[in-house]
Chain A
Amino acid sequence: MRKNGWLMILATVLLLMATTGAAEDLRGAEKILCAGVQATYCDTDGDCEIGMPWNWGMPQFVEIHLDEKMLRTTPAAERLRQTPIRTLERESGEIYLQGVENGRAFSFVIDEVSGVASIAIAAHGLTISVFGACTPIPTGE
């Protein structure tokens, strides 16, 4: 069931990429779908571990609702999770997002042309950095 859901999301992303043509071009997009590709978890002992983002509780896909200033799991996710964005800036072809939730501070830097996302999450004694890719969600989705 979970595997099917995952495949469905993947199919949706591929479909979105196909329908939007220049899939990575996020300029002007109000809603973005991002997928983490690789994460690195480090703690104060200097121990670092590289793994998949969901190994540390990050959803496979995150919708970024720039218009609502909200990070949200996709409708296909097992349950809804969301986090408000405190600061949002679009500048020089980059989207900058920042926020704080449950003792975790996060920063997203997303390149509007390539769709490459660089994400940093920090909590007391630990940091997680994630690299991923984003694509716009067509309006009306």
Chain B
Amino acid sequence: MHAKKTCAAENPALFALNQTFMLQLRFLDSKKRDKYGPRGFQVGWTGETRNPRGSKSMVDGARDTDNRSEPPDDAAALSARLQRLGKRLAQANRPSENGFGPRQTVDTSAIARGFRLSTELVGGVLVGAAIGWLLDRWLGTSPWGLTVFLLLGFAAGVLNVMRAAGVVRDRQLNDE
């Protein structure tokens, strides 16, 4: 079929004959011609490609009116598809561009997110309390170590939560 086509392109008479032949045998084609060939190139096989010389035979005109409604549909489908792809690509790229990409991908479900944030806060407070308590024991500064480090630990916990939630931009991404 491909060989026939190149041959037809060189000889106008043969080309016209070919067109008629194709028209007559159109019932052999399935209605959804787009099914053939690679996806995304569905606009490719329209009247234009079969008619490189732009010859206006009656046969050709008849087929054109017959086909007219299809190419815009295909083109619209392709452009919609491209648009969707572009949107998806933009979405995939965005997290790496703004400040807190990787942190957000961690929190895929609400439970996981809530759990993550609460453990971050508790972890900070616990570490502060432990350090304060140990310092008090070693240095004998009884209430002060625990008081100060509990507060610092709380602050650290809040910082952890804000980092985990993506409220504060990440350190390492700040200086890039």
Please indicate whether A and B come from the same complex rather than being unrelated chains: no
Binding site for B on A (CB under 8 A): none
Binding site for A on B (CB under 8 A): none
